[in-house]
């Protein structure tokens, strides 16, 4: 080896040392942020903060990803229907009539966004405005975040891609019947008036997109399979880090983004300590969830519903081949394809969303023990009362976490669902959709005793919000706790959309931008 080669190698080594030294120095000079929860909110916040802060995300879930097959939007249903799945945790809510209904939580990095965030709804601007005002945002901030994070162009990188669901003749008949009742076609993502049309899914050509899709060059640190047990404070009452079931981590700021159940339970547990700085009786109060209700329909001819497809190997094969050839099919979504926004109580505000599902089932996600309730040609109409008034709580009872949204504890919520059932029955008896209907399942019960039908068949919408909305400042800082912030579904005091995925994503990004402006 000659002298020139040695000197050249030495110069390269010196440059590398300087490069890594700059990176190390830059990292050490950054303030440290710990984000508790690597779900829908946490990943969005980490993505925004990582340029200005040394960010660590601590996520209790075990897995970084699931098999590629389940990234096909429709295939996620297989995980829900398994009795035991390492990728999903199942808990149960107790209803007032003694029924227990399932509630599913992700065991994956990315949380609900990668598990079930397939329907995109921007929501109602009229409902967003009070939220924006509460946190000192402008409508321009909301629009900026939406433009930054979402795209209808499947080739754009580092964005959540949204696509319209493909429609079949059941959808077209559904929309034509609505049109005959004065409901016009419009955008199902943003409509503020009675309207109908195809739904939007978070999907590219083959696979779903999620908050993980917004990540470009990932700079933040991720710690999986660790549960934060306590938030630590210094002698002056400032947040200084967290203690997990495995270690202790120091930081300048802590951001709590573990969702309604995770965020509320952590603060409630710590509040049990008589020396705790967290002493807010409002924590865990006024949580809400959408009630999920279905009207199942047996069709009078084959229509390639998921009930039929599931019962036939060849139909499964054909559907899969079409999907992976890039042909738009029901596999691009969750089985929901077209929808309508309705003002059923005629007070001038949209209160209900109904949508066509390309299947019928007994219990949401087959939770009554079967995947579908029949192999006959079937579809259903899903009912979602968008702005429920019923509110419940998260608490600890006998050392155990108790989550009770108090479904339908307000009479007006029950009344609205009864109006929705009546509307759907009338719709199914009207042309042209009636030409596809052989029988409406449990029609006699729905007409004679809709209250019983609702109580016997309703399930969770998996859209928990609230619990911490009254415990934070306009900067999202927990009151009386310096350096501890909360941003996830728990800070919403109302539903701004019929699906909360994009609501959480957008608020998380606006919070992160505000945090940088205040602390960066």
* Cβ pair 332, 344 in contact under 8 A: no
Distance CA 230, CA 251 (A): 13
The residue whose two tokens read 């964005």 is 159
Give the H or E element holding residue 439: strand 437-440
95 token code pair:
């209803």
DSSP 8-state symbol, 507: H
SS3 456: helix
Binding site for FAD: residue ranges? Answer: 116-119, 228
* Cβ pair 231, 484 in contact under 8 A: yes
Distance CA 55, CA 27 (A): 10
Distance CA 352, CA 417 (A): 9
SS3 384: strand
* The pairing of beta strand 291-299 with beta strand 437-440: antiparallel
Helices (H) then strands (E): counts for the chain? 14, 26
The residue whose two tokens read 């003749």 is 169
Q: Alpha helix locations (H) across 356-462?
A: 411-428, 443-448, 450-457
* The pairing of beta strand 54-59 with beta strand 32-36: parallel
Please name every residue paired with 106 in a beta bridge, in sequence order, or none if there are none: 88
* Cβ pair 177, 430 in contact under 8 A: yes
The residue whose two tokens read 């968008």 is 386
Name which of 419, 442, 518, 417 is nearest 476 in CA terms.
Answer: 518
* Cβ pair 461, 232 in contact under 8 A: no
Which residues, in sequence order, are CB contacts of 320 under 8 Å at separation 6+?
A: 331
Distance CA 97, CA 283 (A): 27
Binding site: residue ranges? Answer: 116-119, 228
Name which of 519, 517, 520, 505 is nearest 45 in CA terms.
Answer: 505
């Amino acid at each position: 080896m000659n002298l020139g080669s040695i000197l050249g190698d030495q110069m390269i080594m010196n440059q590398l040392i300087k490069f890594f030294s700059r990176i190390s120095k830059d990292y050490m000079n950054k303030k440290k942020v710990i984000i508790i929860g690597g779900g829908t909110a946490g990943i969005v916040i980490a993505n925004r903060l990582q340029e200005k802060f040394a960010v660590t995300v601590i996520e209790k879930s075990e897995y970084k990803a699931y098999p590629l097959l389940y990234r096909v939007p429709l295939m996620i249903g297989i995980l829900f229907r398994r009795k035991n799945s390492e990728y999903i945790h199942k808990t149960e809510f107790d209803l007032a009539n003694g029924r227990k209904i399932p509630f599913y939580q992700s065991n994956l990095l990315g949380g609900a966004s990668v598990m079930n965030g397939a329907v995109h709804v921007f929501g109602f601007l009229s409902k967003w405005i009070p939220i924006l005002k509460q946190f000192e945002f402008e409508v321009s901030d909301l629009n900026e975040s939406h433009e930054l994070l979402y795209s209808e162009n499947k080739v754009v990188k580092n964005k959540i891609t949204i696509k319209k669901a493909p429609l079949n003749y059941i959808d077209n008949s559904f929309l034509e019947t609505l049109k005959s009742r004065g409901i016009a076609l419009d955008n199902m993502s943003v409509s503020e008036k009675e309207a109908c049309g195809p739904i939007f899914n978070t999907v590219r050509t083959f696979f779903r997109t999620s908050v993980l899709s917004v990540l470009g060059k990932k700079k933040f640190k991720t710690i999986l399979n660790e549960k934060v047990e306590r938030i630590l404070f210094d002698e002056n009452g400032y947040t200084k880090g967290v203690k997990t079931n495995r270690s202790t981590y120091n930081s300048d700021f802590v951001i709590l983004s573990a969702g309604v159940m995770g965020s509320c339970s952590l603060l409630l547990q710590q509040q049990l300590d008589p020396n705790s700085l967290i002493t807010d009786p409002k924590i865990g109060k006024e949580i809400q969830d959408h009630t999920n209700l279905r009207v199942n329909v047996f069709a009078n001819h084959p229509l390639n519903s998921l009930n039929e497809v599931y019962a036939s190997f060849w139909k499964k094969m054909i559907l899969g081949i079409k999907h992976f050839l890039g042909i738009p099919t029901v596999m691009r979504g969750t089985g929901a394809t077209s929808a309508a926004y309705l003002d059923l109580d005629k007070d001038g505000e949209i209160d209900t969303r109904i949508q066509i599902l390309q299947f019928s089932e007994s219990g949401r996600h087959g939770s009554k023990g079967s995947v579908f309730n029949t192999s006959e040609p079937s579809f259903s109409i899903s009912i979602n009362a968008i702005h429920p008034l019923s509110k419940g709580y998260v608490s600890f009872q006998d050392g155990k976490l108790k989550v009770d949204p108090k479904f339908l504890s307000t009479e007006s919520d029950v009344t609205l669902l009864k109006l929705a059932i009546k509307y759907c029955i009338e719709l199914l008896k009207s042309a042209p959709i009636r030409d596809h209907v052989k029988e409406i399942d449990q029609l006699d019960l729905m007409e004679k005793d809709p209250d019983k039908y609702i109580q016997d068949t309703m399930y969770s919408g998996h859209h928990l919000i609230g619990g911490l909305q009254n415990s934070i400042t306009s900067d999202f800082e927990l009151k009386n706790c310096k350096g501890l912030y909360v941003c996830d579904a728990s800070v919403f005091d109302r539903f701004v959309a019929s699906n909360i995925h994009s609501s959480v994503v957008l608020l998380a990004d606006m919070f992160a931008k505000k945090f940088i402006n205040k602390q960066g």
